[in-house]
Structures are given as structure tokens and as C-alpha cells.
Chains A and B, each alone.
Chain A
């Protein structure tokens, strides 16, 4: 694990942070068989901000789940920080999620009837961190997403934009290498969406966090340095903008 961490935080050029090779995912069997991914090759370097677009059902979420160690591919190889993760068990994947990843979902996925602070602390609890340290880091993370003073609010007392900020605070509180965001602005209006995108861009530029984001909106995809287009379980196009990725700055 620690070796992976070192490798993940100091990627070399020939060893990208994330490398997918011939990744396929098949749901169901026989007549009900759905080939969600039909052979994905993908290299993501540390510090990149990648937008993933594509029609509904093209396999974006499936790819994100595999990238986030929430699901396993049917076939293919996944190297994270140079280490193969295909053979890892459930708990080892949980440790990878806990230590290297942060998730932001379309539906926020906060714990109901639980304060913003407690929500943000959650991953730290599973890391086994002491309470005082946890509180402090969670407060800092909430301040960073502009929610200072809202620590004791329940999700039900927060607007959609604010809830998504809490979710982002929860994602960054562990100081992750990668944030995986599946349609993070899907439930928000344009103004709120732009605030969230500014926040993510900041995390990418200032903290060097690698961001993989699925979106339907070209305006949001414009924030990224690189655009990967999925069609029918395959990558159709993969284009980088002229601007260099964060770690190269």
C-alpha cells in the first residue's frame, strides 16, 4: 500500500498515475448480456483534469466505477500508480479508496440527519484518525469549499450547491490523489455549476489533485484540460487542450 502511495504521488512520465488496458465490462449473461465497456485504453497522468463526455449509456459511469475501485472489470488490466489492482480483494480496494480517492456524485450522497462536519469526518473515522485531529481537518476542508459557519447544518438545511460543496469537502479531507466526479453539476443550475467547477479547478491547479469528471454539458467540460469522448463502450476521441496539466506548471 505504502509503495503504491509513493508511486501515486510521484508519477514518472513513463508510469502514469492510472493506466487502463483493454478494459471490458459485461453485465448479465445470455440474452440479457450488456457489454458496457468494449475495450478501454486510458492513461491518466498525475495532476490532469479530465472531462469524460458521451451519450447516455455509453459506459461513462461504468468506467468511473472501475476507476474508483467500486467495481471490477470483466477483463483487462488496471494499473494504479504502477501497481496492478485487478487481483485485489474488497477490503484492499476499500483501503485504496480511503487513502487515494475522493468521490463526488451527482446526487451528493451525504448522510442524512448528520451534520456537515460529521459527513466530512466520515472517511477520517475509517482511517482511524483521532477525534480532535479529525474535527480540525474537517473544519479546514469545509472552510476551503466556502462553508465556514455551516459545520453544524444538516444536509436538509443546505442548498444543492452547498450540499455538493460538503461532498467535495468530504472528498478532499483525506488529501487524495484523485477526485472522481460523476456528473457533479447534473442537479445544479448554471451559476451553482460554475461555482462547483471553479472549486474543482482550484483543487486541480493549487493542490495538484487529479480530477476525472463525467459531464453532459460542454460548458463544464471546457474547464478540463483533456476531453475523452465515450461512444458505445469505447473511447471515440481523446483530445488535450493546449494548456499544460497542473503538475507541469
Chain B
């Protein structure tokens, strides 16, 4: 009986193919919009999460300045700088912190032979590699002596290495950073691009003391990376760091922090938050358009029931029960709505693919979303098809037969 009803429904729908298409347009648009947007949103979220995981989810960043400032903003004007003593204190006095490392960065021109490129020069120490979970591709890390004296040794990121040396071996070579020359002792493994738009591999690491003496000319630390021990929550680590820093910086109980501790999860959740707000908005648009689509289906089904009054009379006369007629029209509305849903799914996935390509984020269609779209369009058909179907089922056979 259900099979018969589906067959009849397809017949009836195809008989008025163009009208049927116009009817389901609302459903098509609603479903396509949601699928496309959620697919692209999901891709962006995955991209952000991938980026964050290359930084390490247990990584905290400490910067001087008002907490309202974002992670990208510079050191706060009036706030006192961080010092190497702070780095030491964070690592040694806080049990939940595994390693802490300074990170001072500046954009500089780097020269080797007649090739030059602008890159980020970061003054730090070997703990940087641990905190950022970054392996060496070749060579070695800094010797204690190099770190202590701030001698001119440097480790190249993959992008800088490629630009300056191509396929050549950079180890032992001497490159120039502004007017300082420094010897290449190692190269970093490839890290890839980050969603913040920067190429993480475009970097040169030098000992922090070398950076202070030869580049910045002062003892200030602009950022500290702190890596939290496994098994300890970043929230706990963050709280520990905050209380230590407040103490060290002599901030009274009623004063605001003049430093900032950022959590990578926080940044990633902020970004995914934006995505989910967008997704939410779109879902609302989709809900409205499904509602409109549903009303369209109800309308056309009412027209169809009226047009087919005589047919209904005939069916009732030959012994169709109320349920059988109800089922026929309910199935017709549902099939109609499902066709709209399927077109919407195909269209939405195509648009999602296009959008993902354009934003260069991964194309990540969600099977559960497709299933949900399918179920929802079926539900729209059932809900909005019920009233017209009931009207058909309750018809008086004699009056229906007399209808012209």
C-alpha cells in the first residue's frame, strides 16, 4: 500500500512537474542554504582547530597589557614589561607549568649572498621548541653557552631556508640579520600556514640574549609561552600563572591585571564561536524558508485535492478507506517535500564545495546534516501535508462524485 502510494505520488507530481518544482523551491533554498553554510563553517572550524593544534592546545601566552587587548596587540603602553626573571619564575614556581620560554619577535630583512627576504626574527631559547612542539629538521638546538652569552647562532624556519638556500645545505653558513651576522646551526621541521594568515615557517630563531643585545637593545620580554603539564587543565595553569604574576607585579586585590594570559583553546573557541553564530543565523533563515516552503506545499496540496475531488470520490466509491486516502495525499506531500530536500542537499553540497574551494578551507560535508535535512524535509511534508490530506480523506463520496 505504501509502495502504491509512493508510485501514485510520483505520478501526480510528474504530471504537474513545473508546478511541483515551483512548490518545492522554498524547501530547496532552505535546505541548500543550511547545507552550504554549515559545510563551509565546519571546514573553517576544522581549519582553525588544525591551526590551534599545531600551536599546542596546552599552550598559554603571557603578554603585558590590559586583558581587553587581543593576542595580536602590542605590549600595553603603561604596563611594565615582562623580564627573563618572570620566565624563570613561571617555570620554576608553578608546578602546573612544564616549560616557559620567552619570545621576542621582530620583522627583519635576512640576507644570504645576494638573496634577501623579510622574515620574523624571534629571540627565545630551546624551550621554545618544546612549548611549540616543534622538531628540528637538521642540525642542533642552542648550546647553553650560546644562550648565556647571546652569541650569534640561528635556527631557520623552513620558508626562510628555502628562500635563502634552495636545496643547498644551510648548516654552518653565515647569514645576515640587518647588520648582525649569525651562523646557521639548525633548521626547523615544516609547521604549515596558520589560520591567522601567517606562515609559521617564515621564522628565524636566535638566542634571547642575542636578540636583546643586538636587536631590541633592552631587557624587555614581550611574550612568554608557557606549556602546561599533561593532565593539568589549562584553566588551572592559567589561574596559577595569573596569581603568580599578580604577586610579582604587586597588583592589589582590587586592581585589574596589567598583563594577559591567553589560552589557545580560548582563541579557537572564539573563532568557532563566530562560526556557530553564523550557522545559527543561517539556521533561522533556513527554518523560515522551510516554513514558507511547507506553507507552499500545503497550498498546492489543497489546490490539488480540490482539483482531484472527483478522483477522490471514485477512490472512495471503489472502497478506499479514510486512512488509505489520507496516506495517499500525505505521501504525495512528503515525496514532494523530499524531492525538494534532495535537490537542496545536492545544491547545498555543490555550493559548499565551491565555498570551501574559494576560502581554501577543507570541504567537510556532514553525513548527519544531510540526514537531518532529509528527515526535516520529510517532516515538513508530513506536517503541512496533513491538513490537505485529511480534507481529502473526509470527503463525502457522493458530493465528490458529483463534483465536476
Contact = CB atoms under 8 A, between A and B. Distances in A.
B230 interface: no
Contact of A109 (B320, B322, B324, B401): B401
Given A70-B397, A113-B15, A126-B324, A97 B1 contact: no
A158 interface: no
A123 B310 CA distance: 16
B315 interface: yes
Interface residues of B, number: 20
A156 to B, nearest CB: 14
Contact of A94 (B311, B319, B398): B319
Contact of B318 (A65, A98, A113, A128): A98
A94 B401 contact: no
Nearest to A122: B318
A109 B317 contact: yes
B318 A103 contact: yes
Given A71-B398, A105-B401, A111 B314 contact: yes
A90 B324 CA distance: 12
A234 B315 CA distance: 31
B314 A70 contact: no
Q: What is the predominant secondary structure among interface residues of chain B facing chain A?
A: helix
Interface string B295-333: 000000000000000110111111111111000000000
Contact of A91 (B15, B315, B323): B323
B197 to A, nearest CB: 62
A97 B317 contact: yes
Given A65-B398, A70-B397, A109-B310, A94 B316 contact: yes
Contact of A97 (B15, B313, B318, B324): B318
Given A71-B398, A94-B316, A123-B319, 17 more contacts: A65-B398, A70-B397, A90-B321, A91-B323, A94-B320, A95-B319, A98-B319, A109-B310, A109-B314, A109-B401, A122-B318, A123-B318, A125-B4, A126-B318, A126-B319, A126-B321, A170-B318
Closest CB pairs A-B (n = 8): A98-B319, A123-B318, A91-B321, A97-B319, A94-B321, A126-B320, A70-B397, A126-B319
Interface of A: 65, 68, 70-71, 90-91, 94-95, 97-99, 103, 105, 109-113, 122-123, 125-128, 170, 174
